[in-house]
Amino acid sequence: MRVLLTNDDGIHAPGLWALYHAFSVRHQVTVVAPDRERSAVGHGITLHQPIRFEKTRVNGGMTGFAVNGTPADCVKLGLAELLDTAPELVVSGINPGANVGINVNYSGTVAAAKEAAMAGIPAMAVSIIAPGARYVDAAARFTEALSLQVMGRRLPVGTFLNVNFPDLPLKKLRGVRWSRQGTGAFAQHFEKRTDPRDRSYYWQGCDSQGAYDQPLARWDIPVNP
Ligand code: MN
């Protein structure tokens, strides 16, 4: 199938390469991703400055469009201009760090999938629990297998999936559990510091607190990558 890949960590991020390698074996893949990290920009779009794009080759392998916009810009521009044919699926990620609870509203990874869903294209936002995760390639291969199941079952139009992986090898990933979004959020944490000119400023932390997403036991789906 035709797959559009994007993310919010930038076109050079390892999570995007992992998806590219997992999907390009069996699918026609196009990458349209921010030219730099744009995490936590939510569903913002660029209206007051030009949006530039550049065909980029990453490490001599994956070729894609690097866009100086947000993840939502990448999906909008990809669908409207850069792709010759509409993709059948949009996958965003793999984000290093879970996207769960209230925090999905800040996520550029999730926003890109939401943008695709709003355009009527099935989409998946994909994250792995830990920054510095070891098993991103396993998550990518599982994502590809899951995408075939999702396409086979057909998502309701306007729906996207927000997928979060534990940091585990492929043989330990036993299936999929659907969950209800929780109310966990970033803890309110502003560290007050002083700059060299003696002015105060703040640096916002992003530790989570509160209830994570609540598993719903009855929707287990085995997936065999
Ligand atoms: Mn990110």
Distance 97 CA to ligand 1 centre (A): 7
- Residue 210: the pLDDT is 65
Distance 197 CA to ligand 1 centre (A): 32
Distance 38 CA to ligand 1 centre (A): 7
The 10s digit of each residue's pLDDT in 5-38 is: 999 999 999 999 999 999 999 999 999 999 999 9
Q: What are the boundaries of each domain within the chain?
A: 2-182+210-219
Distance 73 CA to ligand 1 centre (A): 15
Using a CB cutoff of 8 Å and minimum separation of 24, what contacts does 82-86 make?
82/30, 82/32, 82/53, 83/4, 83/30, 83/32, 85/2, 86/2, 86/121
Pick one of 3.40.50.300, 3.40.50.720, 1.10.287.3510, 3.40.1210.10 as the CATH number of 2-182+210-219.
Answer: 3.40.1210.10
Residues 6+ positions from 161 with CB-CB distance below 8 Å: 113, 123, 124, 125, 150, 155
Distance 108 CA to ligand 1 centre (A): 7
The 10s digit of each residue's pLDDT in 134-163 is: 999 999 999 999 999 999 989 999 999 999
- Residue 221: the pLDDT is 60
Give pTM, 2 decimals: 0.93
Residue whose entry in the numeric block shows the structure tokens 């995760």: 133
For the segment 199-222, the average pLDDT, to the nearest whole number, is 71
Distance 198 CA to ligand 1 centre (A): 32
For the segment 105-113, the average pLDDT, to the nearest whole number, is 97
For the segment 202-210, the average pLDDT, to the nearest whole number, is 80
For the segment 173-197, the average pLDDT, to the nearest whole number, is 87
Distance 109 CA to ligand 1 centre (A): 6
Distance 218 CA to ligand 1 centre (A): 30
Query: d(Cα 180, Cα 38) in Å, to the nearest integer?
Result: 26
Q: Are the CB atoms for 122 and 88 separated by under 8 Å?
A: yes
